[in-house]
Copies of this chain bind each other. A is one copy, B any other.
Amino acid sequence: MNVVKAKKKALLYDTTLRDGMQGENIFFSPEDKLKIAMRLDDAGIHYIEGGWPGSNPGAQAFFDLVRDKQFKQAKICAFGSTRRQNSTCEEDGNIKALIDSDAPVVTIFGKSWDLHVTEIMNNTREENLAMITQSVSYLKAQGREVFYDAEHFYDGYKANADFALETLEAALEGGTRCLILCDTNGGSLPCDIDTITRKIIAHFKNYDDVIFGIHTHNDCAMAVANTINAVHAGATMVQGTINGYGERCGNADLTAIIPILALKMHRNCISEENLAKLQNLSRFVSETANMQPIASRPFVGHSAFTHKGGVHVSAIMKNPKAYEHIAPELVGNRRRVLVSEQSGKSNIVYKAKELGVDLGDDESKKTLIVNNIKEMENYGYEFDTAEGTLKLLMEKLTEQYQSHFDLESFRVVVEKDKERPCYSHAMIKIRVGNETEITSAEGEGPVSALDNALRKALATMYPGVKDLHLVDFKVRVIDGSDGTDSKVRVLIESRDTDNIFSTIGVSEDIIEASWQALADSFQYKLALDHKK
């Protein structure tokens, strides 16, 4: 008889919409929050903490929006504090707002650290415990499921273990069956989390219907590890945010925790299908927050499965396990291979195949390409982000390149009179076969003027260029210690209806560098059109 050991369950509690919003520059409107909540539910999240109603009008608005929504499995949670000291639950505005939110789950936080109770809040031990017990039991009596966040628990336990334990007992006495231990200042080491969590769980072993949760912060860059350690120690619920957004250094990053729980700790917490939505979920949240996605973010970042070193690339072509700890598709990501000064022939072969360039069998050509790339990267080119230029280069070095236009000349002029803003214009003359075209254009600056002039000149012979749009423009000075004589690298990202590609130019002259990148982008586009 095969005994399949049932996987232990782990509960996923997301606080992106509450704790996440305490991060600098993070802001979600109530409508943004609703969209994110629907995506979280769709991805299989169990609990969605929507905000602190009563703390600001925006927070309450979200609860109004979700009140009549149907969710697949997610339960909406309202967050707030225990009643004010020396008051009653009935009189407390905060408590009232929690009830008025109509959220089925209410998560309240209370103080576990004597420093906070006595010094910060000028309160007594007894009153602190009463605040906790009464708030929990009042909310339970109103028909809510109540979770208890023991704020500063680990610091509190280290300072005064009895004091901290009492606060948990007070919460249980009020009727909660879920205690979340918080490392609010984010300063605990993984071994502390492990030791203390085990002690707490052992202490309450006679309560077999109580579950423990963990809520960490990333002030020591260890929020994820601390969460994982707590789960090892017996915690069942993990609290965190998508992309680790949150106050100071952020909360525990669910986009790392979820795949670790599912794939490495074999916890029953998310289906395979939902796990594969993770990268999309991460990007949706960063887009909505208007935060630049971090390329190196584990599991879901653009670079998470990107290989640059030549040794790495030739190895993964034989067996991806050699340099990948999981298959990228499991979390909705994909493998990428970069070409750079660290490339070997394997990178080049892989890349050429990706770009649709046939290198043939001539090994000397591949060596020529590798050497050219190394020299050019030494000069300042970076091909890992400029695949358009790379493709054209490979074609040039294997005599497959077809030029669609040639430059006869250009002149760019920038003029300024006294305080008036600069005025830029460019004249350009190009040749296509036996025909030439000469024209001029203005622009926001010299590069813009040149771009407009080139586009205008080409459009007379190639109407298709109107579909080409320049969507990103990056300039980097390479080693600014040569001052204004320093080399400059220009990177341009272009799009037409079907394609996105990047091109690059390097020179001490920013116009020359921009020209290279611009010319390459039009050549690349015209080659694509020619193939159709």
- CA A458 to CA B228, docked complex, whole Å: 59
Within 8 Å CB of A29, what residues of B? 380, 478-479
Choose from B378, B385, B480, B514 the contact partner of A25 (Cβ within 8 Å): B385
Contact at A493–B510, with CB atoms within 8 Å? no
Choose from B184, B250, B411, B508 the contact partner of A448 (Cβ within 8 Å): B508
* Contact (A483, B509) CB under 8 Å given A120-B322, A322-B120: no
Contact at A312–B247, with CB atoms within 8 Å? yes
Within 8 Å CB of A301, what residues of B? 249
Tell me, rounded to whole Å, the shortest Cβ–Cβ distance linking A160 to chain B.
14
* Contact (A115, B319) CB under 8 Å given A32-B479, A221-B298, A476-B290: yes
Tell me, rounded to whole Å, the shortest Cβ–Cβ distance linking A477 to chain B.
5
A116 CB-CB contact with B under 8 Å? yes
Tell me, rounded to whole Å, the shortest Cβ–Cβ distance linking A125 to chain B.
17
Of residues 302 through 340 on chain A, the ones whose CB sits less than 8 Å from some CB of chain B are 302-312, 315, 318-319, 321-326, 338
- CA A224 to CA B470, docked complex, whole Å: 40
Tell me, rounded to whole Å, the shortest Cβ–Cβ distance linking A417 to chain B.
5
Tell me, rounded to whole Å, the shortest Cβ–Cβ distance linking A4 to chain B.
23
Q: Which of A81, A306, A384, A414 has the most CB of B within 10 A?
A: A414
Contact at B247–A308, with CB atoms within 8 Å? yes
Choose from B190, B248, B323, B341 the contact partner of A225 (Cβ within 8 Å): B190
A421 CB-CB contact with B under 8 Å? yes
A44 CB-CB contact with B under 8 Å? no
- A380's nearest neighbour on chain B, judged by CB, is B29
Copies of this chain present in the complex amount to 2
A149 CB-CB contact with B under 8 Å? no
A374 CB-CB contact with B under 8 Å? yes
Contact at A229–B190, with CB atoms within 8 Å? yes
Contact at A374–B471, with CB atoms within 8 Å? no
A74 CB-CB contact with B under 8 Å? no
Contact at A221–B224, with CB atoms within 8 Å? yes
Interface size class of A (residues with CB under 8 A): 35 or more
Contact at B187–A444, with CB atoms within 8 Å? no
Contact at B511–A23, with CB atoms within 8 Å? no
Within 8 Å CB of A322, what residues of B? 115-116, 120
Contact at B417–A296, with CB atoms within 8 Å? no
- A482's nearest neighbour on chain B, judged by CB, is B473
Contact at A249–B303, with CB atoms within 8 Å? yes
Among A51-59, A130-138, A162-170, A390-398, which stretch is in contact with chain B?
A51-59
Within 8 Å CB of A25, what residues of B? 295, 382, 384-385
> Which residues does A use to contact B, with CB under 8 Å?
21-25, 27, 29, 31-32, 55-58, 81, 115-116, 119-120, 184-187, 189-191, 218-222, 224-226, 228-229, 232, 244, 247-250, 253, 256, 260, 264-265, 290, 292, 294-299, 301-312, 315, 318-319, 321-326, 338, 341-342, 374-375, 377-378, 380, 382, 384-385, 406-419, 421-422, 424, 443-448, 450-452, 469-486, 488, 492-493, 507-512, 514-515
List 8 A-B pairs, minimum CB-CB distance, nearest first: A187-B325, A225-B225, A445-B509, A470-B483, A444-B508, A221-B256, A472-B480, A448-B484
